Amino acid sequence: MKIFKFLAMLTVSVLLFTGCADDDITNYAFAEVSAPSNVSADFDITQDDTGTVTITPAGEGAQMFEVYFGETENETPVEVAAGENVTHVYGEGEYDVKIVAIGSSGLTSEYNQNLVVSFKAPENLQVIVDQPATNPKKITVSPSADYATLFEVYFGDMEDEEPTQVMPGGSVDYTYDPGVYEITVIAKGAGRATTEEDAIVIIPEATDPLKLPITFDMGTVSYAAETFGGASYEVVTNPDVYRSHTTESNVGAITNSGAEWEGGSFSLGEPVDFSGDDKQITMKMWSDVEVSVLMKFEGGIDDARANEVKVTHSGTGWESLTFDFATNATKSFIDGNQGVGEPFVPTGQYEILTLFIDGGGFTTGTFYLDDIAQPSALPNCVPETEENIDAANGPINWTFMTNDPDHEFDQFGNIETYIVGNPKTDGINASCRVQKVVKTDPCETWSGVGQELPTAIDFSTTDKKVFTMKVLAETQASEVTLRLERLPHPNTDPAYDRVATITEVGEWQLLTFDFSDVSEGTFKSMIIYFERNANCDGDIYYFDEIKQVAPVPAACMAETEENIDAANGPINWTFMTDDPDHEFDQFGNIETDIVDNPSIELVNTSCKVQKLIKTDPCETWSGLGQELPTAIDFSATDKKKFKMKVFAETQVSEVTLRLERLPHPNVDPAYDRVATITQVGEWQELTFDFSDVSEGTFKSMIIYFERGANCDGDVYYFDDIVQF
């Protein structure tokens, strides 16, 4: 229940936006540069109708500030020392206030605020209290009002509470214990009037069972742990929002007292299942010292044997750790069992997860944990199966299968980057792990990510001089630069850049970087820039699967195999056999034929493909279909996914793959899966997943392009329908 009372007052409004570092450094070294960061300013408006504003600038690494009040075009700034403030009297109007933070190195960063001074009462006062179902303990308060200066929020869970200030357009998060609370919001401005707004929030008790992934953020889950050996445990807010963990979420905290064999155990309401192929557990952990971490599973169902894996945290803050129970597990001592320390591959289910921090040692300190997960249990992703980052072992194939700092690109220029779960597992990239880049404000305009390769790539001996990379832009399309250097800065020469463009937001795309014209040179450093030389405004990008390949041949590569009969194994429809029996038939008055590949490129170099034209007029239900020689039996096969390469000549659209018992009218059972073409003029590989279908035989395969839409002459091609 929410009860609101509205207040009116005279106000000054502050609208916030930010700027980036202002310097002329253009190198691409991995070293950090000490420009001030996290620059901000507090605006304190005296409530006496005079327009008096006190500005207190702040910024990490700033020695002094220049404050431009925004009243004249060629204004001389006022210098303010770190920790000091400046007061100014404004008349009614709108001002662009600029704060320039100056560091000890002379580098600067800017922060800008739009200040509207108005001696009006605030209007349209509203407060939104967001309480997500996934984490009802953490609420977000978002006040707003026309002409508002700032808001003071009282959360109502303590006596003599100091209010939390929120600027107009902003919000504030707060985490409660279970109970009933009254939130009070007070709007303040240049006038003397104040008004209250109250909201009642109810925080439920945590009663849901604990299971993987353990995120410490679900308000309905109890994250209790039983400690031993002198350790203590609590759930806290992430104390270090950086590197592999950039969210202000809750984390678990285990504090060692210095005794031997300290740690904590989690009792799981849903057991961890090691009966399948995936026996990896991943966990984010923070430590400022190098320390061993031992993960143990016990409390097995059906007498599953207790087992454990030990890994090492290097002490660099947040790191992503992988515990591989398929290759590194050993038997653990429990209930007098023998064979402790012997290799062991678990195949059972386990209800107790135990962690020892520096087990057998005496390290003291607090260690933070988060996102304990079994990758295969993460939704809709396909675990990586191969990776190579060393040219001595063959062409580069960087997939982030190995989730550790040695396989992570390092940031330079004050941005954030880390290996994360794939945020969008449909389209052309279903893998579980990718690397994320956040162009943190402020960062340097020349910021990027880079990594020194274990062995240099020798362009005088290799014919593989093209790199492909999958990218996803979360916030805006931009250019991506791939740079190869002899060694990291300053020993860069020879160095070469290639640029490709992200054209879609929210979709994975495959970019190509072609160095075929480079005939010689060795390259031991790989650099990636997103929107190189642009100011930083918090844009987010992901990248994955950096592959070193040979240039696309000038001529097509003839198909060498094909199977359209399930009796002979999984379907592999390549159009190698160019005859009517291997061609999909049209229905609904469209045109189709097997033709030459219109665009020979890395995704599809084959010679023959099938073409479809949505002829005007055709039926909205038009498509292509083929009756298979032998039905696919989903009760007998484990291959229930299909890949298909598609090429849109005129516009992007959805593609539907439909499996039917027999052609119409004997369709039942029938299942549809839909994927989306995201690019025009390029081949893409789409995936259609029928894994949730446990039984049924399917003798008819149907393909729709922009199903249900009117026909306007759009042209599509498709190829290589593969069952896997």
**pLDDT of amino acid 106:** 86
Contacts of 338 (CB under 8 A, 6+ apart): none
Contacts of 99 (CB under 8 A, 6+ apart): 39, 41, 55, 57, 65, 66, 67, 68, 110, 111, 112, 113
| Res. 353: pLDDT tops 90 | yes
> For the whole model, what pTM was predicted?
0.43
Count how many Cα atoms sit within 13 Å of the Cα of residue 222 in the half-sphere of its side chain: 12
Q: Model confidence over 3-57: pLDDT tens digits? A: 333 333 333 333 333 333 333 333 444 444 568 888 988 888 777 778 889 999 9
Q: May I ask the CATH class of domain 391-549?
A: mainly beta
Q: Would you call the peptide bond into 405 cis, given omega within 30 degrees of 0 as the criterion?
A: no
**pLDDT of amino acid 248:** 64
Phi and psi, residue 425, nearest 5°: -100, 15
- Asked if 298 and 306 count as a contact pair (C-beta separation under 8 A), the reply is yes
Q: Model confidence over 453-494: pLDDT tens digits? A: 999 999 999 989 999 999 999 888 899 999 999 988 778 889
Residue in 653, 713, 661 with CA at minimum distance from that of residue 677? 653
Alpha carbons 67 and 69: distance in angstroms, whole number: 6
Alpha carbons 10 and 190: distance in angstroms, whole number: 5
Q: What is the band of 715 on the pLDDT scale with cuts at 50, 70, 90?
A: very high
Amino acid type, 383? P
| DSSP conformation class of 567 | G
Alpha carbons 229 and 514: distance in angstroms, whole number: 57
Alpha carbons 213 and 199: distance in angstroms, whole number: 33
Return the percentage of the chain with pLDDT > 70, whole number.
Answer: 91
Alpha carbons 63 and 65: distance in angstroms, whole number: 7
Residue in 435, 449, 440, 451 with CA at minimum distance from that of residue 414? 440
Q: Model confidence over 381-402: pLDDT tens digits? A: 777 888 999 999 999 999 998 8
Alpha carbons 65 and 310: distance in angstroms, whole number: 49
Residue in 35, 33, 34, 30 with CA at minimum distance from that of residue 492? 30
Give a three-class secondary structure readout of 53-92: EEEEEEEECEEEEEEECCCCCCCCCEEEECCCCEEEECCC
Alpha carbons 134 and 140: distance in angstroms, whole number: 13
What fold, for 566-723?
Answer: Jelly Rolls (2.60.120)
* Residue ranges, CATH 2.60.40.10, the chain: 1-204
Mean pLDDT of the residues in the chain: 85
Alpha carbons 514 and 130: distance in angstroms, whole number: 48
**pLDDT of amino acid 29:** 41
- Do β-strands 397-398 and 349-357 pair in parallel, antiparallel, or remain unpaired? unpaired
Contacts of 25 (CB under 8 A, 6+ apart): 33, 107, 444, 446
Average pLDDT over residues 170-181: 86
Q: What is the band of 302 on the pLDDT scale with cuts at 50, 70, 90?
A: low
Q: What is the band of 193 on the pLDDT scale with cuts at 50, 70, 90?
A: low
For 665: left if phi > 0, alpha if psi spans -120 to 50, otherwise beta; the answer is alpha
Q: How many residues does the chain have?
A: 724
* Residue ranges, CATH 2.60.120.260, the chain: 391-549, 566-723
* Chosen CATH of 226-377 out of 1.10.10.10, 3.40.640.10, 2.60.120.430, 3.30.420.40: 2.60.120.430
> 1-204 has which CATH code?
2.60.40.10
* Residue ranges, CATH 2.60.120.430, the chain: 226-377
C-beta neighbour count of 258 within 10 angstroms:
14
By CB atoms closer than 10 A (0-12, 13-18, 19+), residue 475 is middle
Structure tokens at 367: 């260690």
SS3 label, residue 22: strand
| Res. 1: pLDDT tops 70 | no
Number of H helices, E strands in the chain: 0, 48
Alpha carbons 166 and 677: distance in angstroms, whole number: 43
Q: Model confidence over 318-329: pLDDT tens digits? A: 888 889 898 888
Cα torsion at 504, 442, 217, 472 (round to 10°)? 20
Give a three-class secondary structure readout of 700-715: EEEEEECCCCCCCCCE
Structure tokens at 672: 């549809």
**pLDDT of amino acid 123:** 78
Alpha carbons 241 and 318: distance in angstroms, whole number: 9
SS3 label, residue 446: coil
Amino acid type, 504? E
* Lowest model confidence (mean pLDDT) among 80-84, 93-97, 716-720: 93-97
**pLDDT of amino acid 192:** 66
**pLDDT of amino acid 98:** 94
| DSSP conformation class of 177 | -
